[in-house]
Each structure stands twice: as C-alpha cells, then as structure tokens.
Amino acid sequence: MEKDETQKTVLIPIVIPSYEPDDRLIALLRDFDARDMGPVIIVNDGSSEEYDQIFNEASSIIARLGGKLISYRPNRGKGRALKTAFEYIKDNLPGALGCVTADSDGQHTPDCIASIKDALTAHPGNLILGVREFKKSEIPWKSWYGNNITIKVFAYVSGMKVNDTQSGLRGIPFRFMTELIGCRGERFEFETQMLLECAGRYDLTEVPIKTVYDSKENHQTHFNPVKDSIRIYRLLGRKFLRYACASLSSFLLDILLFQLIVVSMEKTLPLMEAAAIAATATVGARIISCVYNYLINYRFVFNSRASRVVSLTKYALLAVIQMSLSAALVALIVYIFPGCWKALVKCIIDTALFFLSYTVQQKIVFRASEKKPSNTTTPDN
C-alpha cells in the first residue's frame, strides 16, 4: 500500500511517438486506461489522413488519462517526435520526475512500461533502458544481427557497455530530457545519440523486458535498415573521427615545431652539434604536441569531466608506454624477420596501438568515474 501511494504522487508521463499506427496502439491505450496509467503523450508524426480515425480514438482515451495528442505534417522522424514531446513536458509538466518513452507497435507491454517507471522512480538520476533478450531463433534476423553489431561498435566508440542500443523503451530523467531537446538526430539515430550523451555523464540502469515480435506478416517497422543504419553509424563514427583528426593535427604540429626549433637553434647556436639540436627539437616538439593533443582530447573528443591533473598524469604515462611498446615490438619483429620492410612493420604496429590508445583514453585516462549499468528485477510475466 505504501508503494502504491508513493507511485501516485510521482509524475512520469508516458511518451509514444507514432507514425501510421494500427489497432495495437488503441489496445495499449485501453490497457493504460484500465490500469489508470498516465498521463500519456502521443505524437502523431505526420501520419496520412487515413489514420485520423485511430488518432481520434486515441485522443479520447488519453484525455481521460490527462494526456495530450500532438499532431503535425509531414513526417519528421522519431527523433523529432520525441523531442517535440520533451518540449511539451518541459513547458507544461515542469514537476515531472522525467518521462518514459515507448513504441506504438505492441512491442512494449504495460507491465514492462510500468517496470521502467518503477526503475526511474527508484533511480531518478539515471537513464533507464529496457533491455530485450535477443535469441536468434525467435526474432527477425536483421534485428538480431543489427543489434549485436551495433552493441559492439557502440561499446568501442563510447566506452560504455549497453546490451540493447535500439530499445525504444526508456526512462529519462527530467534534466537529461531537457538537454536532449537540443541534441542532433531527427530520426532513429536520435536514440543512439541519447546513449552517447549519457556515456560518462549519467548512470545507466538496465531493466530486462519481454521481447515481443509478431510474425513476419504482421510485424511492421518504419526502420529503414539501410538509411537509418547509415545515420546511426555516422553518429558513432563522428566521435572516432574527431579522435583521428586530433591525432593527425598533433602529428602535423609535431613535425612543424620540430622544423621550427631546428631552424631557430641552428641560427642562434651555430656551434651546437647537429645531433644535439635534433634531439632537443624532437623532445621539445613532442612535449608541446602531446600537451596540445591532451587538451583537444580532453575537451573536444571525450568531453571529459575528469581531474585535469589526474588525467594529464595518466595521459603522459600512456604516451610513454605507447612509445616504448612501439619501439619494443618493432625491434622484436625486425629481429625475428631481419629481411622485413621496417617502415611497414612500424606502420602496422602504430596503427594497432592507435586504436588501442583510443580505448585506453576512453575508459581510463579521461573517465571521471566508472559508470556501470545496474540491473533491476525482471518484470512480471
């Protein structure tokens, strides 16, 4: 009884973006009505006129739940629909703890939605993610392969392990919700952007939910496996591209500074040995370029909140280890294969260390604190 009374005082609206839905949306809303689950905010994301009857019926149900139907044309994408609902909540429901987002195609049951609301109530500062159990034999092959590949790529790029990157059932804290309004992403890629924004800033709580799929004949999805996948991977690639550009610019700066220092020392210290000038220029240029690379990575690549002193110390240690590994591995391979092309060996080793360094910087150097997903109990079946 005490739990029920607490839940009634917590305002957590349910957001449902909807594009050309069928009767499953009405069935879900009737379940909400029977359970007095609300308020419900539906965004009609540019559906054609033939769907007006469904939305009219939906409007009458959500009116009883204190909700809102928002409609516009043309179709703008799931990301824009979610952000439209977030703006409405921010302006009209400022006392909300946050919101729960769900799909309109029957994949999310009322029990699962309720479990996400419970988790958000228990962890009001966390992003709550409904996680499906992916069994290859029970779900469409494109969903199984797509999700598993994206999970691995996302973990590498973000440094955060998420077990279901494409789940639309989420509990979003109010503050994070308002921050997401201005984020990039208008279609399905917005949900990936949400996870990227969460990484390193908000804790993640994963809640196991049912995996509901109709037969191939009945299941309808507006996810375009080509266009929407490109949008998602473009987002994931953008962060790594910033890392690559930062590294390239640091390399160019290192070469430029080396040349400037050499020229300057040759003019001011004409009696100094060439080898000493080269060594001094190498060390000086490398220190400055490393500081530059650290600052760029700290602010623009990883958007770190870690202590600058601690992260700079870790970064310097990583640079020494990486340089030592490169020298040792190149020397070892050249020793084992004396006739090999030394430049090619160094390129291969340094490329591998380049990708490894990204992971180390992401997870160790620039991470303020360890953000580990926590799990709540499985919802009742």
Could you tell me if 260 and 156 lie in one domain? no
Reply yes or no on whether the pLDDT at 68 is more than 80: yes
In a domain, 273, yes or no: yes
Could you tell me if 104 and 75 lie in one domain? yes
Contacts of 61 (CB under 8 A, 6+ apart): 26, 29, 30, 32, 33, 40
Could you tell me if 126 and 179 lie in one domain? yes
What is the count of structural domains for the chain?
A: 2
In a domain, 381, yes or no: no
In a domain, 28, yes or no: yes
Could you tell me if 147 and 250 lie in one domain? no
Other CB atoms closer than 10 Å to residue 67's CB: what's the count?
A: 21
Mean pLDDT within 266-277: 84
Of 27, 80, 73, 81, the C-alpha closest to 50 is 73
In a domain, 52, yes or no: yes
Could you tell me if 103 and 218 lie in one domain? yes
In a domain, 380, yes or no: no
Taking the CA atoms of the chain, what radius of gyration do you get in angstroms?
A: 26
Beta bridge partner(s), residue 16: 42
Reply yes or no on whether the pLDDT at 300 is more than 80: yes
Could you tell me if 349 and 205 lie in one domain? no
Of 323, 284, 291, 289, the C-alpha closest to 308 is 291
Length of the chain, in residues: 381
In a domain, 189, yes or no: yes
Element (H, E) at 17: strand 14-18
In a domain, 122, yes or no: yes
Could you tell me if 218 and 341 lie in one domain? no
Element (H, E) at 40: strand 40-45
Could you tell me if 196 and 316 lie in one domain? no
Could you tell me if 203 and 72 lie in one domain? yes
Between residues 249 and 189, the one the model is more confident about: 249
68: domain CATH number is 3.90.550.10
C-alpha count within 13 angstroms, C-beta hemisphere, residue 107? 23
Mean pLDDT within 218-230: 55
Q: At what angle do helices 23-35 and 52-64 cross, to 10 degrees?
A: 10
pLDDT of residue 357: 93
Could you tell me if 127 and 91 lie in one domain? yes
Domain that holds residue 345: 238-365
State pTM to two decimals.
0.73
CB 177 within 8 A of CB 124: no
Confidence label for 269 from pLDDT (cuts 50, 70 and 90) = confident
Mean pLDDT of the chain: 84
CB 176 within 8 A of CB 82: no
Confidence label for 26 from pLDDT (cuts 50, 70 and 90) = very high
Reply yes or no on whether the pLDDT at 6 is more than 70: no
Reply yes or no on whether the pLDDT at 133 is more than 80: no
In a domain, 322, yes or no: yes
Mean pLDDT within 347-363: 90
**Of all residues in the chain, what percent carry a pLDDT higher than 70?**
84
pLDDT of residue 3: 42
Cα–Cα distance, 181 to 220 (Å, whole number): 28
Could you tell me if 296 and 244 lie in one domain? yes
Could you tell me if 228 and 262 lie in one domain? no
